């Protein structure tokens, strides 16, 4: 069974620069594959420096001369609400495109439009309610904060749940008054073109939003290095993040990077067994396991270890693997044959490092496409590569522990630090353990359920900076301190004679 091509697709995917769909200056294109068959289904413009230059020039013109950065927050919010309504109205079309292009099960893809729309509504509310500080020195000085957008934002997004991930960056960037150049992931460029109609219908001014498709080594590299780009927000793997970090340095760009993860779930003997089982199965096998916060390392207390492994393996064997368009599929096709090969290499490595208790192969009824059964390894030692390295697929490693201290040590014994999960009925232990885990986020007795007001980001090899709520607006904005003199200011009269300096007044310390 293979997935049918969605209706009403464009003949080819093009850049969107200054309000116009356009081919690459070079005329170059690349193939986009259907993950369920690995057949080419569309051509996409392959951008390079010339296309990035055009897009940045359009964004810069819109920022320097257009109305968007100077609109009142309420005016920007009205357009953001229209964007949210447009996104919501396209739920069926978006889900179909996203599922077909990325291999995401259609049932899970249907939630992406609602999440993307909520991002725009959330930041629309936030900019209207935002309060900036003022500090008074009565009769002498008034100090206040002038918040203004930083400029042109370069947004580089990943191939997993691409449309929703794009909304997570676009909403705060636009809410703050920035103009943007979006570089979507080359594996999954299809849904990004929907933004062009959505923004036009919502009344976003021309040039505020631009798209350049292409590869990280060309289009992405040119965007990061461009002198007229003021900040870069990147989501992707750690090695690429390190390269971007270095390339931002010469132009002193602001950076926010959400990188890889190898998130632990610590399951203590007093945990709600069934709830932990349900949550950790969902946490690693939903979205095909291609999620940054996946609970891909399960650390289970030894007294319940054997029972948990047996129950987990039994459930994993029943996880339905099928075509992306099948409403009953729980795991569908991995995004691309290159990624599929990478994941399968880790499966083979795991077979030599640990005990395979479920999955580990392609389903017999799906001989074509990037399919893998829900795969579970038990008795995984900490030095194993499948314990230490991000796999980004439906593969989980289970490791026993004896004591609380050992669980914390195992949880922290990787280079990553994005998310973690703690399962216990002991409230004191839950908080104590959570505080000692080296990660940007910890969930207690839950999988990844987020409040948009909270910080999102990692530590160690999992990223730089945090976004979410006001933190996102802080990243896309500059806070300028304005100091207004209200009374006489004593100034030491350098070069004058016959004066005494017995009142330092407001001179104060400088920098």
Residues forming the active site: 258
Are the beta carbons of 124 and 81 closer than 8 angstroms? Answer: yes
For residue 304, which phi and psi values (nearest 5 degrees)? -115, 5
Helix (H) or strand (E) holding 152: strand 152-156
Q: How far apart are CA 182 and CA 167, in angstroms?
A: 11
Are the beta carbons of 360 and 391 closer than 8 angstroms? Answer: no
Say which residue the tokens 């096998």 belong to.
285
Residue 112: CB atoms within 10 Å: 24
Exposed/middle/buried for 203, CB within 10 Å: 0-12, 13-18, 19+?
exposed
For residue 462, which phi and psi values (nearest 5 degrees)? -100, 5
- The residue ranges of DSSP E strands in 302-428, in sequence order, are 355-358, 375-378, 395-401, 419-423
Q: Which two tokens stand for residue 424?
A: 């216990």
Are the beta carbons of 400 and 354 closer than 8 angstroms? Answer: no
For residue 195, which phi and psi values (nearest 5 degrees)? -60, -35
Backbone torsion region of residue 95, taken as left when φ is above 0, otherwise alpha when ψ lies between -120 and 50, otherwise beta: alpha
CA dihedral 172, 93, 331, 398 (to 10 degrees): 10
* Cross-strand pairs, 44: 13, 30
Are the beta carbons of 244 and 400 closer than 8 angstroms? Answer: no
Q: Which two tokens stand for residue 127?
A: 């900019």
Give the CA distances from residue 424 to residues 259, 389, 433, 443, in Å, rounded to whole numbers and listed in that order. Answer: 28, 26, 10, 11
Residue 374: CB atoms within 10 Å: 26
Q: How far apart are CA 343 and CA 42, in angstroms?
A: 25
Q: How far apart are CA 26 and CA 424, in angstroms?
A: 58
Q: Residue 382: which of 354, 410, 419 has the closest Cα?
A: 410
Are the beta carbons of 394 and 284 closer than 8 angstroms? Answer: yes
First to last CA, the chain: 68
Q: How far apart are CA 169 and CA 172, in angstroms?
A: 6
* 3-state SS class at 113: helix
Q: How far apart are CA 148 and CA 70, in angstroms?
A: 9
């Amino acid at each position: 069974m293979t997935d049918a091509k969605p209706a009403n697709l464009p003949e080819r995917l093009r850049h969107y620069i200054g309000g116009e769909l356009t081919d690459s200056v070079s005329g170059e294109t690349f193939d986009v594959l259907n993950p369920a068959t690995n057949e080419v289904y569309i051509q996409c413009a392959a951008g390079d420096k010339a296309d990035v230059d055009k897009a940045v020039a359009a964004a810069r013109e819109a920022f320097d001369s257009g109305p968007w950065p100077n609109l009142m927050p309420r005016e920007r919010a009205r357009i953001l609400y229209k964007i949210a309504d447009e996104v919501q109205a396209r739920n069926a079309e978006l889900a179909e495109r996203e599922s077909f292009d990325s291999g995401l099960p259609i049932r899970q893809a249907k939630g992406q439009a609602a999440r993307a729309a909520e991002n725009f509504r959330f930041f629309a509310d936030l900019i209207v309610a935002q309060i900036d500080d003022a500090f008074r020195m009565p009769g002498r000085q008034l100090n206040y904060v002038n918040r203004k957008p930083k400029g042109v934002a370069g947004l580089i997004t990943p191939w997993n749940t691409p449309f929703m991930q794009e909304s997570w960056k676009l909403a705060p960037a636009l809410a703050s008054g920035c103009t943007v150049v979006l570089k979507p992931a080359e594996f999954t460029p299809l849904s990004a073109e929907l933004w062009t109609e959505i923004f036009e219908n919502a009344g976003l001014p021309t040039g505020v939003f631009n798209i350049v498709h292409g590869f990280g080594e060309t289009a992405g590299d040119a965007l990061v290095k461009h002198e007229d780009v003021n900040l870069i927000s990147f989501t992707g793997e750690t090695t690429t993040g390190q390269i971007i970090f270095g390339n931002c340095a010469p132009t002193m760009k602001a950076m926010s990077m959400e990188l890889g993860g190898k998130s632990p779930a610590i399951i203590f003997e007093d945990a709600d067994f069934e709830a932990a089982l349900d949550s950790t199965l969902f946490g690693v096998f939903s979205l095909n396991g291609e999620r940054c916060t996946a609970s891909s390392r399960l650390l289970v207390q030894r007294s319940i270890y054997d029972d948990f492994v047996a129950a987990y393996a039994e459930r994993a064997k029943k996880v339905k693997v099928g075509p992306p368009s099948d409403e009953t599929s729980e795991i569908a096709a991995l995004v691309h044959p290159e990624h599929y090969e990478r994941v399968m290499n880790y499966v083979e490595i795991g077979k030599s490092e640990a005990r395979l208790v479920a999955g580990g192969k392609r389903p017999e009824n799906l001989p074509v496409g990037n399919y893998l059964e829900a795969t579970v390894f038990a008795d995984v030692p900490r030095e194993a590569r499948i314990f230490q390295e991000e796999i980004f697929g439906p593969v989980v490693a289970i490791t026993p522990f004896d004591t609380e201290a050992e669980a914390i040590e195992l949880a922290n014994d990787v280079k990553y630090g994005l998310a973690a999960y703690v399962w216990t009925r002991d409230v004191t232990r839950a908080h104590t353990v959570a505080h000692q885990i080296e990660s940007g986020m910890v969930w207690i007795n839950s999988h990844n359920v987020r409040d948009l007001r909270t910080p999102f980001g990692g530590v160690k090899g999992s990223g730089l900076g945090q976004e979410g709520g006001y933190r996102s607006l802080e990243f896309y904005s500059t806070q300028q301190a304005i100091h207004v003199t209200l009374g006489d200011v004593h100034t030491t009269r350098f070069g004058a004679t016959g004066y005494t300096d017995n009142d330092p007044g407001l001179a104060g310390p400088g920098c």
